[in-house]
Every structure is written in C-alpha cells, then in structure tokens.
Amino acid sequence: MTQTTLPPTKKTAPVSAPEGTVTDRSRGERRLGWMLAGPAFLVMLAVTAYPIAQAIYESLFSYRLTDPANREFIGLGNYGVILTDPLWWQSLGVTALITFITVVVELVLGFALAMVMAKALSSIRPVVRAAILIPYAVITVVSAYAWQFAFDINSGFVNSWFTWIPGVSADTDWFGDWGTSIFVICLAEIWKTTPFISLLLLAGLAQVPEVLQEAAKVDGATWWQRLRKVTLPNMKAAIMVALLFRTLDAFRIFDSIFVMTAGANGTESVSFLAYRQTISRLEIGLGSAVSVLLFISVVLIAFVFIKGFKIDLAQARGEG
C-alpha cells in the first residue's frame, strides 16, 4: 500500500481573463489594498525593523550604558569575543538540547492529544479542548514558579510523592545538578506548550479527507496502517508548521530558566546570555551582538525548515 493523498486542486482562472495586462479596476484594488494594509505595515516596520536595525548598529560598538563617554566603534569585535567564548557555545548547546527534547516530546504528546480531541464525543469535545488548553493559557513565569515550587526540596511535593521511583528521595535536590535542572525545565516547557502543538495538529487532522480513511478501511487497512499511510502524509504540512513554530519558540527559552535556576549549573540559554550582558551588565554593545546572533540562529532554523522540508505556509493555512 502506498501513501495516499488527494491530488492538489488547481487554481482556476476565469477563461476570459486577459493575460498580462493590469486593468484600472485591479490597479484601484491594489491601491486600496495598500491603503488598508499600509498603516499596519508601517507599524510593523516601526516595532520590528527599527529595533532590529538598532540592535545591529549598536552591536558594532563597545558601549556601556553607565559610561557613554567611552563609547567606541569596534566593528565586529563583539562578535569575535562571543564566538570565541566557550560560554556562548555552551549556551547554544543547552538551548539546542532543550529545543530538541521539548519539541520531540511535545510533537508525540500533542499528536496524541489532537487525536483525543478529534475523536472525543461531540458532547464533551468543548470540555476536553478547554481542559487541554489550560496550560497554554497560564503565563510562563507563573507556570515556571509552579513547577519550581513542586520540585523544590523544602516546599515541593515531588520528593515525598515519588520516592518509589529509583533515584528520587526526600533529599533529591532537583535544581542542584545540570541533568535534573534540565529535566524539570523541559518538563515545565512541555506541560505548557504541548496544547499549542496539539491545536495546530488538530487543525491538520481535520484536513484529512474522510473518503480516504473510508477507502483504506474498505481495503482492510489496520488502524496503524491508516495512521501511517493516510493520516500522517495528509497532515505533513500541518506537522511541519507546528514543528517550525514550536522550534522557533523553544529556541528563545528564557522565563523557566530565569525562575528555576537563574542560569546556575550550566543551564543558561542564549536568551539568558543576552539578558545578562544587556540588562545586568548594561553592556549594550556586547548584549546587542548576542541578540543579533540569536536572531540569526532563529532565521537559520526557519530557513532550514522552509527550504529543507519544503513547507508551504499558504497550504497549511488552507489557502492552497
């Protein structure tokens, strides 16, 4: 049995449409379009393009906020300092690790939850959906504190409830080691953002044509075969979009680490590094350079996803 997807529908243009010329009407529509979208476009430029440009500009200076007199142009010097520092590579590694673990686990869990939501009786579906969505509605800092309190050696309940698990005792200091800290941080992230992935996947599930499922059933395909050969191939676009969004999101992790370990035990992420240089040390130049590198990393991830996996964002939105 091969993978089964429906042939893409072709966009149909009216036969009478003249080719290549722009009519007055379409020109007018285009102008109206710009007038409607223009203000939003300007606001976008003001709130995204301008700060990005400023960060890039300032990353070329040695500039401390409390010492503006000694501001000095040093070209790419800040980038040299960062890229030759093991701390940068360690933070990048930690960030990549957390991103990988959380995204993989969330994808599997999120898919299972999406199936539950899709298959739930229509009478309880809204309740199930709301219940699954609650963690996503919780503010990240609040969720981070909740998980920190749960695992805290003094106030937490985890150490007394889970002593039956080997390695967990009343004296387990979760935030005292690298491995256990990363574990709790990942757990908090997974709990919080799995609903996001499952929602995106639910939308993808709804796009799988029922006729294909029925055809496969008639052919005698088992549940597992239908999942692998019919459901997943038809959802590829939705899965890739969910992965892309979550990966970009996970790569910027900050709140949980800030609350739980404050970067101790080598748990510092790239965002945290940028925060420490810019806000704590007031080294605007160095901090901007870290931010720019973070931005480049995120752009690279998006590029790899979109080109490498050939995601068609328009198709995932149902415009294809």
Partner 1 sequence: MTEIPGQRPPERRAAAPRPARARAPRRLASAAAGVVLASTLAACGGASGGPPTLTWYINPDNGGQAELAARCTEAAEGRYRIETSLLPRDAASQREQLVRRLAANDASIDIMSLDPIYVPEFAQAGFLADMPEDVADRVTEGTVQGAVAQSTWGDELVAIPFTANTQLLWYRTSVAEAAGLDTSASDTWTWEQIVQAAEDQGVLVGAQGIRAESLTVWLNALVESAGGSIIADHAEDPDRLELGLTSEAGDRAAEVMAMVAGSDAVGPAFSTEDESGSAAGFEGENGGFQVNWPFIYAQAQAGVADGVLDQAVLDDYGWAVYPRVDADTPSAPPIGGVSLGVGALSQHPDLAYEATECITGDENQAYYMINEGLPASSAAVFDDPAVVEEFPMADTIRQSLEQAAPRPQTAYYNEVSGGLQRSYHPPSAVEPGETAERATELITAVLRGEQLL
Q: Which of 8, 10, 154, 308 binds partner 1 (CB under 8 A)?
A: 154
State residue 150 phi and psi, 5-degree precision. -65, -40
Give me the least distance between CB of 266 and partner 1, in Å please: 10
Q: Note whether 281 binds partner 1 by CB under 8 A.
A: yes
Q: Note whether 176 binds partner 1 by CB under 8 A.
A: yes
Q: Note whether 313 binds partner 1 by CB under 8 A.
A: no
Contacts (Cβ under 8 Å, ≥6 apart) of 52: 295
Stretch that binds partner 1, among 51-59, 113-121, 135-143, 255-263 (CB under 8 A): 255-263
Contact 106, 199 (CB under 8 A): no
Q: Note whether 141 binds partner 1 by CB under 8 A.
A: no
CA distance 45 to 48: 5
Specify the residue for token string 């953002």.
193
Q: Note whether 93 binds partner 1 by CB under 8 A.
A: no
What single-letter DSSP state applies at residue 120?
S
Q: Pull the structure tokens for residue 181.
A: 């800290």
State residue 209 phi and psi, 5-degree precision. -65, 130
Stretch that binds partner 1, among 9-17, 78-86, 221-229, 309-317 (CB under 8 A): 78-86
Stretch that binds partner 1, among 46-54, 199-207, 263-271, 308-316 (CB under 8 A): 263-271
Burial of 253 by CB count in 10 Å (0-12 exposed, 13-18 middle, 19+ buried)?
buried
Q: Which of 56, 65, 92, 306 binds partner 1 (CB under 8 A)?
A: 65
Contact 102, 184 (CB under 8 A): no
Query: Where along the sequence are the contacts to partner 1 (CB under 8 A)?
Result: 62, 65-68, 81-82, 85, 87-88, 153-154, 171-173, 175-176, 261-265, 273, 276-277, 279-283, 286, 290
